[in-house]
Structure 1
């Protein structure tokens, strides 16, 4: 990949600064020719000032700027236990979904972002889990694709969520391919015929991120019984490196195809 790839990221995570550090590191490890632009949803701050800390690291979601991106990522968010229509910026998110699809921009939806996009585009239902899936687990490939190339049997990945997507519905949808699943039966990833990848694992996480998430939730909900993350000493570095390299190669291929059409 010689051309600088422009990747946009809508950052919906609670710890925005750490999230941006994680994604930038992963993307630049996978490809040196990457320029990452971070956005925040404006509707989330409709009735209050945008925090200075957010303004310092991201810019308001602007579809004119999104149009300049070669690929786009929508992060997870701590919203699995809410209905999608309860989200303050749902209309803005739907507008982004439609825009990315209409522009044929390569899309990567992560964790809650994957749940939201899969529900909007394909009516895949979100299933709330009896307890949080939280830790580093083995996963297996169900269908080999360009994105899963290089991942070994039993590859490791961190999962951290209170809900999952309905596996049966994913498998019944002709436009979707379930590509990976965890050892405990939770979705790792699936792909669409269009330029859409849905990743339920937090491959952007760095070492220590799961423990930090546990401490943050414990402080926020002191009276709630919150399970500690499992297998936190297990490394998923190789999985992250391979997956993000493959995704950026997919972005680069899509860009090359677009440029060829306009020659």
Structure 2
């Protein structure tokens, strides 16, 4: 079975992001055709960069019915209010259309924050310091996407903001599926809709956290940035990063694609 997955790529490192998602979505048993998009309103007053045009297409909402699932990536925007994002209305329109079409949705990091805020009014707040590194995560409820992982499974986290966990717990439409020991979100889901909110960058490969640290440090060398924790074999010299979440990544995306394939079959039966 060939699965068609659309991805709105909002990350800064667009080429690396597309390579990562194309890799993880094709590591398993499914042949996955991945199409990448950019928000048109992000470039409404300036030319679309040549690289962006070469590797992705403008988002066109009336073409979404060709996809079996859709992903909205993270973005380095968690320190900004949602209303300050130039393309936030386009993201909201995309979320609305995916809901109308009942297409499985995976929202990652900032994408999860923006979607949860828009759909369920969950507020975002700034963390006292960035959660940055590889951490153990613990289940709160049974989650088919985490089937096959031990409690305390490892995953990378990299963000400056968090959602109101209590607001999620109090919402009868949502269920928290896993958090870190310090109650930082790994994931939650909508009970009766095809929406999954993932706060770990599971698409990241071995060197991604190191690249993120270097990017921030190079952009503002005058600042003291937190180094990724529980990540290096030699933390003193920041050498030999370990790919501790490889199993988590493989199991999660295998389970998610299995769910997408089952959803495709169910929708085909309904049509017949």
Shift of residue 234, structure 1, vs aligned partner: 4.9
Q: CA deviation at 1:127?
A: 1.7
Does the residue aligned with 2:226 lie in a helix, a strand or coil? coil
The residue correspondences of 1:234-249 to structure 2 (distance < 5 A) are 234-249=243-258
Deviations 1:104-139 (A, max 9, x none): 000000000000000000011112101100000011
Would you say the 8 A contact 2:25–2:32 is kept in 1? yes
3-state DSSP of counterpart to 1:8 = strand
CA contact (8 A) 2:106 2:195 kept: yes
Q: TM-score if structure 2 supplies the norm length?
A: 0.94
Asked if residue 16 in structure 1 is aligned to residue 25 in structure 2, the reply is no
2:225 corresponding residue in structure 1: 226
Per the normalisation by structure 1, the TM-score is 0.97
Matched with 2:215 is 216
The one of 111, 116, 124 aligned to 1:113 = 111
When structure 1 is superposed on structure 2, of 251-260 and 4-13 the one drifting more is 251-260
Match of 2:143 in 1: 145
Is this contact kept in 2: 1:136–1:234, CA < 8 A?
no
Mapped to 2, the partners of 1:116 and 1:90 lie a distance apart of 8
Offset, 1:220: 1.1
In 2, Cα distance between the equivalents of 1:241 and 1:76?
Answer: 19
Corresponding residue number in structure 1 for 2:270: 261
Q: Which runs of 5+ in 1 are unaligned?
A: none
Match of 1:198 in 2: 197
Moved over 4 A (4+): none
Which region of structure 1 is more displaced relative to structure 2, 102-111 or 23-32?
23-32
Is the CA contact 2:176–2:189 (under 8 Å) kept in the aligned structure 1? yes
* Cα distance in 2, alignment partners of residues 79 and 151 from structure 1: 30
Deviation at residue 33 of structure 1 after TM alignment: 1.3
Q: Give the superposition deviation at 1:186.
A: 0.4
Offset at 1:183? 2.3
Q: Identify unmatched segments of 5+ residues in structure 2.
A: 232-241
Matched ranges for 1:57-72 at <5 A: 57-72=55-70
Q: What is the total number of aligned residue pairs between the two structures?
A: 261
Matches for 1:152-171 after TM superposition, within 5 Å: 152-171=150-169
* Matched residue, 2:74: 76
